[in-house]
Chain A
Amino acid sequence: MVVYVAIFSMLITVILQLSMRVQMTGSRVRISNEIKENVSQFTQIVTALVREGNSLDIGNSVFDVHPGKLVVSNGAEIATIETYTKQVTMGGASVAIRKLRFLQGSNPPIDLTSDHVDVTDFRLVNLSQAGSPDVIQLFFELSNVNPSGDPSFESRLSVSSSIAVRAES
């Protein structure tokens, strides 16, 4: 009888541990997917914005430091991609996160990243050459908001890319 109880206890323990591990893996995959979706969305929007622009507004853009700022001139319209901080509540705690947003003309700003991710790096490098259409290289890193600091739920994705305006400056 004692042997059966011991075996049964072991099996229950293994099942519980496994269930927790599967659940944790599911959560980590969801977090990872959230970050990837944000990276993909941001990359597409910033690429379209720069490609459709006439030139970069070098004077009003912020290069080489985090947080950077990108201002693109498209005829009469000025479009800006920048970061701002927002206070969000997560797990009962209030956390300050940095988000990317898009501004065009006098329209209200549009958030480019969700409240579940924090922009931990956003740097732009101006690689333009005189006589050629403007080119930028951008580095950005998105991390999941993890107020508890639990390393099991730590996830970040850093990406570098480059975009050239298509129209002659």
Chain B
Amino acid sequence: MDYIKKSTKGFSLLELTLAIALFMIFVAGLGATAIGGHLTGLENAKMAKANALIMESWEAVMAIRNNNWSDLANGTHGLSALSGYWEFSGMSDLSDGFTRVITVGDVRRDDLSNIVSSGAEIDPDTKLIAFDLSWEPSSGQLRSLHFESYLTNY
């Protein structure tokens, strides 16, 4: 009986397909890493701008405080320097692709002057200032940054 001798040299179709599939996974992984690195760089740059804007906002609110404490009205505000000095304007403002909202709120203190979240008396010389920045990232969901601090009239 004659047997047909099959060659065992070279690649089978299955081996070739598997090798290409593994290679494609490897390529996709490296590609994703490269793109991810680039996007992270862009996002870090936006975060650096956001931090500078938060600092700008804080200094602007301090300038408003320095000029007239009563200008720190409770509510949500935007900022403007169009009059030649910092002032609240509207309920938010846009700056270089960032939306900025500043919220001024009352602060309550108990008999020992400790800040409490409810009850007690409103301290007329202290305000809680909250800063919110949001921006469209290079990809993905809306990004935001929040910072808050107390500001006193002394």
Q: Which residues on A are within 8 Å of B, measured CB to CB? A: 4, 7, 11, 14-15, 18, 21-22, 25-26, 28-29, 32-33, 35-36, 39-40, 43, 47, 125, 127-129, 131-133, 135, 137, 157-164
Contact = CB atoms under 8 A, between A and B. Distances in A.
A2 B56 CA distance: 65
Contacts of B142: none
B38 A36 contact: no
A164 B85 CA distance: 12
Given A32-B41, A127-B81, A162 B59 contact: yes
A25 B36 CA distance: 9
Nearest to A166: B62
Interface residues of B, number: 35
A21 B34 contact: yes
Given A25-B37, A157-B45, A164-B59, A135 B85 contact: yes
B52 to A, nearest CB: 4
Contact of B67 (A32, A132, A158): A132
A125 B80 CA distance: 13
Nearest to B98: A160
* Majority-rule SS of A interface residues: helix
B124 interface: no
A21 B31 CA distance: 8
A21 B41 CA distance: 15
B56 A43 contact: no
A26 B41 CA distance: 10
* Majority-rule SS of B interface residues: helix
A169 B63 CA distance: 13
Nearest to A15: B27
A159 B85 contact: no
A33 B43 CA distance: 11
B70 interface: no
A34 B38 CA distance: 14
A160 B96 contact: yes
A127 B63 contact: yes
Given A125-B81, A161-B55, 4 more contacts: A29-B37, A129-B63, A135-B86, A164-B62
Contact of A160 (B16, B56, B63): B56
Q: Which of B34, B62, B63 has the most CB of A within 10 A?
A: B63
B49 A157 contact: yes
